[in-house]
A and B are shown apart, each in its own frame.
Chain A
Amino acid sequence: MPKDGGIGASTKRREDVRFLTGKGRYTDDINIRGQAHAWFVRSDVAHGMLNKVDVAAAEAMPGVLKVFTAADFAGVGGIPCGWQVTDRFGKPMLEPKHPVLAEGKVRHVGDPIAVVVAETLEQARDAAEAVEVDITQLTPVLDMKAAIAADAPKVHEEIGSNLCYDWGFVEENKAAVEEAFKNAAHVTTLELVNNRLVANPMEPRVAVGDFDSAGGMHTLYTTSQNPHVIRLLMGAFVLGIPEHKLRVVAPDVGGGFGSKIYHYAEEAIVTYAAKTLNRPVKWTSTRSEAFISDAQGRDHVTKIELALDKDNNFTALRTETYANMGAYLSTFAPSIPTWLHGTLMAGNYRTPLIYVNVKAVFTNTVPVDAYRGAGRPEATFQLERLVDKAARELGVSPVELRRQNFIKPDQFPYQTPVAVVYDTGNYHATMDKLLEISDYAGFEARAAEAKARGKWRGFGVAHYIEACGIAPSNLVGQLGARAGLYESATVRVNATGSLSVFTGSHSHGQGHETSFAQVVAEMIGIDAGQIEIVHGDTSNTPMGMGTYGSRSLAVGGSAIVKATNKIINKAKKIAAHLLEASEADIELKDGKFSVAGTDKSVDWSGVTLAAYVPHNYPLESMEPGLEETAFYDPSNFTYPSGGYGCEVEVDPETGKVEIVAFSAADDFGNIVNPMIVEGQVQGGLAQGIGQALMENCVFDENGQLLSGSFMDYAMPRAEDVPFFKVDHSCVTPCTHNPLGVKGCGEAGAIGSPPAVVNAVIDAFHRAGRTDITHIDMPVSPARVWSALNG
């Protein structure tokens, strides 16, 4: 292994040097000469007729360049949706127009109405107060079940209904599932809510539009997880700018968690305004704005039922879920409660028959889309809560009921009844590992000790499956995706042997600059310090689909491996020429090419130099230079899985739940950088614990977000989480990508919420409160107290 760390080394994250010393360059750090500033006038009501927007007074204010309203965007397209779901009856989902600025109606608090562009931000803000907006309030649509009643007010009149789609999966299984429930020895039923969350990355969204009138070139700097996707959506669907005249740059990005995948109106508006005004235009979201304009996550209401036979084998599962879309369809919103959720309902189990019904509903709330885990946390939460409840009803151990129904290690590849095929896994192994690292055997003693202190201790387990590494393009195309989901890489070797790797993946906290370099360093056998990872700029990276769904190493890393293999193949040919040997005899080891069985060799830089100074080079058969591009389209999803154990102490007097221990035993396949993996899991766990205990969007009856700031939206802090025990020694490598990797970015947020809630219920039951069989998230002190005293 190269000294600076190849595959398997816990190399320190090289990007942290700039982040920790204040040298990161974020979008808000970009200030272009002549830049003007944009401030948005947003709706302060959830639902209303937008009668009039009068900008005359505002445009007369000092420093104001222009106030844009919907009328200025008459010629541009709406914000597109990237996925079309087909409903149970074979009809396409209802897809309302999403104008960049509100037209005729406002549909959620925060819906943008007008944009003031002025010389300074304060001038823009001053003028925004002078924009006169006349709105007639309408009854807001908030409750999903009420929203689909025939006489409910409509969020979008022109589509005639608030029901975006009614999806059934697998529709053909429906009758057989009903039949299995009729024959069940036991049925466990659970109704639950998956609470709506705000992503809240550290860095709020920012967009800077720039226009070069001489060349007709547009540049958008934006806080995006996928600059090429933004270029495609905004260029082709909204503004009509061809790709060669549109450059999208996502520089350092301070976290996304999904919320920075989507194409947002603000991006199109600054790009358009920059051309209209012939001035660079910058918009920086305030934190308050982020709460009402960034796509939010989760928000499902579900009824789920499990049928078991007399021996406690799972025989069928059915669900009915209401999924909130918010007021408009965000980029990938329709796919989250369907293909990223329904396909995961088998979990780790051999349940032979499954039927999932999802009703996606429009409401007068902020749009909802993917958020760390996206659909998979919702599936896992339902299933793992349900299995726990079943075990309690049957009087068997939750661990044993799971084990009994797990897919067995020798059953892989495993075809689930919900379309997907798990390539590898060993759930018994991860469960065993979890019980070991969490000292499950010692729990009773710890519970007794806690009881002596007046605390109720509980232990909760959950075992998750996720589908990552999205995704085979031809498959997702059939499922309604309007994009491919491959990834790209260009490896450019420089004359003296250093490399620049241009990747379509984007790094906004994941540490790609370190781990991708480790992969290439390992393959060539050179120091990782010789390798630069370049990402985030459509002008220098090949078309790539970006970072989400724990796909970067599995898909982006595979593209890098493919491109590096092409490089190595060509370099071997050059080495064969230099060494006057046959290509078949050339071996590459530790950055040196040698002829097998001889002491003849040439080192890496000797070959790279020959490629660029081809004095002694087979020019007749090979081009000079050493640069290769590869695209990798996966043949399947990857299926990370793991067992999570949470230990809580409930203070029965105050209702406060403290997480005193948390253990995670994951199978991520092969690991490139164990330290980064551990960091990803820890972050995911903190986020999942945040959802389980603290975070929540609460809207009042008028559709105002009551938890619209950090004063009321509770984010987890270091003191709210324990020291995690994280293990990833259980490895069943992925069989269909070259690195055998599965992805680790979302696991923590997927597996932890049910583990936490199961632990709370366990604590209740051990204290004799077996009457409480479920508690909704967030399990706040007030909720626990109400449950105990309700």
Chain B
Amino acid sequence: MTRAFETVIGLEVHVQLATETKLFCSCPTSYIGKEPNSMVCPVCLGLPGTLPSLNGRAVELGITAALAMGCSINRNSRFHRKNYFYPDLPKAFQISQYDLPLAVCGSIPIFIGGRKKIIGITRLHLEEDAGKLVHGSSDGRLSGTSFSLVDYNRAGIPLAEIVSEPDLSSPEEAREYVLAIRRLVRYLGVSDGDMESGSLRVDANISQKCTDGRWGNRVEIKNLNSVRAMERALEHETVRQRDILSGGGAVKQETRHWDDVAGSTRPTRGKEEAHDYRYFPEPDLPAIVVCDPMVRRLEEGIPELPWAKRERFEMEWGLDPMDSTALSERLDVAEFLEGVVAAGADSGISANWVRTDIMRILKETGLKADELPFTPEALGDLLVKISKGVLSNTAAKDVLEQMYRKGLDVAAAMNAAGVDPGGISEGTLEGVIRKVLEANPVEAGLILSGEDPSGKKKKFLQGLVMREIRGQSPVQDVASMMDKVMGEMKKPNGSSV
């Protein structure tokens, strides 16, 4: 008996909001690499008598992300307490949102094989992070450990939880979705979206829908520490669930833990999931009231979104999807490219340069495009010079190198690169050509006697000339000057070869 299945996936993505201070106290958020428990205060340690004070910036960042996904913003939302005991949770409750989240009902497009798919966003809510436990046992788990250490530096870090509709139908779509969320939050400056450091975390819900209309139970997968791990876990889980269902079994509704080394999921311990969180409204915090002027102000600050840029790069500039995707990945790069084109450079050449040379420099230096020592306008000028034939590609690359290494402007960089800003004079060019022809009499002779029908010898000589003049004349100028010089050579009164 064979049955066909459809995979149904919904994701919960937690992003760490890029605030200076924690969600409810003024401790700094830059806890990575810091001494354990060095970035804590009575509030985030949950000491008796302390009260939370909401960080308004976190609310703004949450609203910004929600607006970018077309969510509707609740004008009155509130915090709830999620109660459970765990040593990393200082108050034994997490301040989170429950029935009235900050925003609901949005969407985000993803692109699969050039096809666009809209993924629904159920809600976005704010919550505080917990601390971190380090267990003393050999396998790093809590059970059987003789002691555990706890670091509260992360406790109270602001998170936005973005919950998707179960609109994703494959691990690949899930990957594209996570990348789209990451790209978006980075565009907006809402989060650094770094999965490795835990600024972006994903929990996945996955189930199988059978063509006969029956559904398998939903399984939640945790411990997905990279996009790759998530994809592998979802692939593994798809197979596992389909095997169970095909064999006539039932998928157990449960939370499973992804083991990246074993490459499989296993159930989390029953006790850990049998939680009744006893949610109730947080009495220490008034409702979050969002007014229209605030929404308008935040809306105005939202840049053109990555998917819109991508489409515009294709429609307006004719970039292929590979280029448009790569060039819209980062806001700094996309805006740099736009600056280059705005300076008058050809969009195709600009895209090519930004994708190769600029991306290489950014990778080497770790800089953002707006931190480069030269402006997009400067690169635009340079590329215009190529189009006008004032500079060859090769020479322009030397000039760019000078601009980036020494922070010079275009003119100074051209000087430093030994490139004549005015190009090569006709006289100089003619002199160089004559020198090259004299140094290569065999080739010159063959051309003059008409024995170079394919033009290969001519190209070779032109190449030598270009090298000699460091590419400071357009190749067509070199060709016409060479024709002129050789024409003169053919004349009886010309100098003999």
Q: Do A and B bind each other?
A: no
